[in-house]
Structure 1
Amino acid sequence: MAGRKQETQLRTAGGIQYELTRKRVKNLNIRVREDGTVAVSIPLRTSAEAADRFVAARADWVQQARERAMRRAAQEARPLPDKETALAYFTAMSDKVYPAFAGVLGGHKPTIKVRSMTSRWGVCFVAKRQITFALQLYHMPPAAQIYVVVHEYCHFLQPNHSPAFWAEVAKLLPDWKARRALLK
């Protein structure tokens, strides 16, 4: 078997077209690539029919993963706004949320900044009274944007993600979980 070429074929199961590859792996693996294509690798002795059943059983998950990949690709295709535009936008949004936190902030608005961030939507620096928003947040739905603004402001009340923090978020946004889901 050493030197044996990997066998690859195109198959369809559960309405999902996928590329099947037999390899030296222990488990059946499914992967949705960035372009939305589906790759399945199976152990050398596993039947193609077993792979078909595996894919068909996960068709809903594959479709959701494809939709996420398409949304990511669409987001990446849209140019980020310039910093001045994004700063003005998020400052205006912050000004709408600020009154609920004016007391804890002693009547002084936090400094709002924007920058490109790939792993976070926002960051709150409590000691500096500063909130930084990701430029990438600009292209997200307004309901999700408000969630991030409220989330970061709530860190002035609770500096962590404890149950008390989430209770503060829920006071202002009872539907915060649905809003957060828009970011995924």
Structure 2
Amino acid sequence: MDMSTFRTVKANDKEIHYQLERKPVKNLNLRIRSDRSIYVSANSAVPIDEIDLFVISKASYISDAIERFNEMAKYKPQPKQYVSGETFYIQGRALRLQVNKAEKDSILSDGVYLYLSVKDPEDTVRKNRIVNRYLNKQCKVVFEETMNLIYPVFKKYDVCYPELRIRNMETRWGTCLAKKGIITLNKRLLEAPRTCIEYVVMHEFCHFIHPNHSKHFYSFLTMLMPDWKERKALLEKTAVYWL
């Protein structure tokens, strides 16, 4: 049975169109997708008028989020061709790609350049596969290092070391399934400065103590990472150019 409907409300003389899905959730949840569509999930017990008022109360947030997505679209890079001169980011550092012809495929970095050697420099599919295999390995190494750095803080709260999953996500840097003991991180987070990666990992770990984004969650996060707002601002500022 389809529990999804589309609604329209008015805030500040502007119409807001949103998709509403009824789900067994405790709180009202609102998300702005990368295509600028607005999605809301709510328990079937919540009156429709209350949901509409909730969306209206988020009008400023919605406007800012859509403006940010529009700004991101301006700077969104074209698909990589994997040719010399292209730039790849790892932990905030820009690495310039150099493609060379060689008998054996290989890839390595000296912190300034990303050296890609392939049998056929015109084979874009092969170059894509080699580079992405390298980036996936870097994700695993960097994310696991960061989790190992932060986990001791949570061990004393009897939090079990979580399973790490890495995947591409459009609108989130990370998620936490507290009951299942899983933290999922966005592959693109590898491009951000290390201080930003630490913020996202700390944020997700805090959900093992406070599953939602309550004031208790943010108080706990602030206690453990007093400068998280600065780190988050840096992440949001630099992400405009990378996502």
TM-score, scaled relative to structure 1? 0.57
Matched, 1:73 2:77: yes
Deviations 1:134-162 (A, max 9, x none): 00000011111111010000000100000
SS state of the match for residue 203, structure 2?
A: helix
Q: Is the 8 A contact 1:158 1:165 kept in 2?
A: yes
Q: Is the 8 A contact 1:93 1:149 kept in 2?
A: yes
Equivalent residue, structure 2, for 1:98: 151
Q: Is the 8 A contact 1:104 1:156 kept in 2?
A: no
Whole-Å Cα distance in 1 between the matches of residues 205 and 71 of structure 2?
Answer: 33
From 140, 145, 149, the counterpart of 1:87: 140
Equivalent residue, structure 2, for 1:124: 176
**Counterpart AA for 2:154:** F
Whole-Å Cα distance in 2 between the matches of residues 151 and 66 of structure 1?
Answer: 25
From 161, 164, 172, the counterpart of 1:109: 161
RMSD: 2.9
Whole-Å Cα distance in 1 between the matches of residues 183 and 234 of structure 2?
Answer: 21
**Counterpart AA for 1:178:** E
Change in Cα spacing, 1:68 to 1:146, as seen in structure 2 (3 Å) is farther
SS state of the match for residue 216, structure 2?
A: helix
- Number of aligned residues: 120
SS state of the match for residue 132, structure 1?
A: strand
Change in Cα spacing, 1:118 to 1:67, as seen in structure 2 (3 Å) is closer
- Structure 1 ranges of 4+ moved more than 3 A: 65-70, 76-82
Q: Which has the higher strand share?
A: 2
**Counterpart AA for 1:155:** H
**Counterpart AA for 2:223:** K
Whole-Å Cα distance in 1 between the matches of residues 198 and 174 of structure 2?
Answer: 11
Alignment of 1:1-184 (within 5 A): 69-70=74-75, 72-73=76-77, 78=88, 82-106=135-159, 108-184=160-236
SS state of the match for residue 73, structure 1?
A: coil
Whole-Å Cα distance in 2 between the matches of residues 173 and 68 of structure 1?
Answer: 31
- Give percent identity, aligned residues only: 32
How far residue 173 of structure 1 moved from its aligned partner, in angstroms, is 1.1
How far residue 110 of structure 1 moved from its aligned partner, in angstroms, is 0.7
TM-score, scaled relative to structure 2? 0.44
Pick the structure with greater CA Rg.
Answer: 1
